[in-house]
């Protein structure tokens, strides 16, 4: 399973990259706003800065909701760097734009997926990735992980090449469950990736190894 980090924070992206486990980055307009990045020139420069840090795909989201606007924005984004994946919302105009970009050989990530039917539609249009939002479903007492299972089954039934990018990951158990189900990619915050590191027996074991070594060598 590929690990993407879900942030526009350059320091966090660099930290994950330095760990040697990072396969890509996802951003969205809220994450860009959180970093105080506004205005087309700054937004574009920020995406370029992200691409300069990571080796893998970088999802950059369009703001337009009409086909022509999405195409215009997406083409500008895609021209920035070969790592850019144009992120497009799951709306009718978005499906048309995904088909357009797919025919042009430009990678897309269909975002705001909350049902298997939406994922199927995006895959039919040729999306590179679909992003089902696990955490936001869990937030409304709906099983986000069941959606990942359902999409996995459908894509496997028909051999769709579209990758399942489990998004809105909130904690380490989401990551583990995604890996069990067979999501192709997960995108989550650095905190969820850090949480995978932790086990109290690791800390206790290391402390003992170091103490024993010290005793034997003093
Ligand atoms: C990523 O592609 C999504 O935009 C993101 O994972 C949404 O996460 P949130 O539900 O924590 O905002």
**From the candidates 2, 87, 92, 208, which is the catalytic residue?**
87
Ligand 1 pocket residue status of 27, Cβ below 6 Å: no
Ligand 1 pocket residue status of 7, Cβ below 6 Å: no
Expressed in angstroms and rounded, the spacing between residue 202 Cα and the centre of ligand 1 is 31
Residue 142's nearest CA partner among 105, 116, 181 is: 116
Ligand 1 pocket residue status of 8, Cβ below 6 Å: no
Instruction: Report the alpha-carbon distance of residue 27 to residue 89 in Å, rounded.
Output: 13
H helices within 87-195, ranges in order? 92-104, 116-124, 134-139, 144-158, 172-181, 190-195
DSSP letters spanning 115-140 = SHHHHHHHHHTT-SEEEEBHHHHHHT
Tokens of 208: 């003992």
Identify the H or E element spanning 207. helix 200-216
Instruction: Report the alpha-carbon distance of residue 207 to residue 210 in Å, rounded.
Output: 5
87 is catalytic: yes
Point out the ligand 1 atom lying closest to the alpha carbon of residue 59.
2
Under DSSP, is residue 31 helix (H, G, I), strand (E, B) or coil? helix
User: Is 91 buried (19+), middle (13-18) or exposed (0-12) by CB count in 10 A?
Assistant: middle
Instruction: Report the alpha-carbon distance of residue 88 to residue 199 in Å, rounded.
Output: 38
Nearest CA to ligand 1 atom 7: 168
To test the ligand 1 pocket, which listed residue (28, 188, 190) has its Cβ within 8 A of the most ligand atoms? 28
What does the pLDDT profile of the chain (218 residues) look like in tens digits? 999 999 999 999 999 999 999 999 999 999 999 999 999 999 999 999 999 999 999 999 999 999 999 999 999 999 999 999 999 999 999 999 999 999 999 999 999 999 999 999 999 999 999 999 999 999 999 999 999 999 999 999 999 999 999 999 999 999 999 999 999 999 999 999 999 999 999 999 999 999 999 999 99
Whole-model pTM: value is 0.97
Point out the ligand 1 atom lying closest to the alpha carbon of residue 28.
4
Q: Enumerate residues 6+ apart whose C-beta is below 8 A from 131.
A: 26, 87, 109, 110, 111, 112, 113, 165, 166, 167, 187
């Amino acid at each position: 399973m590929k690990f993407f980090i879900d942030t526009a924070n350059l320091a966090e992206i660099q930290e994950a990259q330095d760990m040697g486990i990072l396969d890509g980055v996802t951003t969205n307009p809220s994450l860009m706003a959180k970093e105080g990045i506004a205005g087309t020139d700054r937004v574009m420069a920020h995406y370029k800065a992200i691409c300069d840090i990571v080796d893998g795909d970088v999802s950059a989201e369009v703001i337009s909701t009409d086909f022509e606007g999405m195409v215009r924005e997406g083409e500008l984004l895609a021209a920035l760097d070969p790592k850019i994946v144009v992120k497009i919302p799951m709306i009718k105009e978005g499906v048309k734009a995904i088909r357009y970009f797919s025919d042009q050989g430009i990678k897309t990530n269909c975002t705001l997926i909350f049902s298997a039917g939406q994922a199927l539609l995006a895959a039919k249009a040729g999306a590179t990735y679909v992003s089902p939002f696990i955490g936001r479903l869990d937030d409304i007492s709906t099983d986000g992980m069941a959606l990942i299972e359902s999409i996995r089954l459908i894509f496997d039934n028909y051999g769709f090449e579209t990758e399942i990018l489990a998004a809105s990951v909130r904690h380490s158990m989401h990551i583990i469950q995604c890996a069990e189900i067979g999501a192709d990619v997960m995108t989550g915050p650095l905190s969820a990736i850090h949480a995978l590191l932790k086990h109290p027996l690791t800390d206790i074991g290391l402390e003992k190894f170091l103490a024993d070594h010290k005793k034997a060598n003093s």
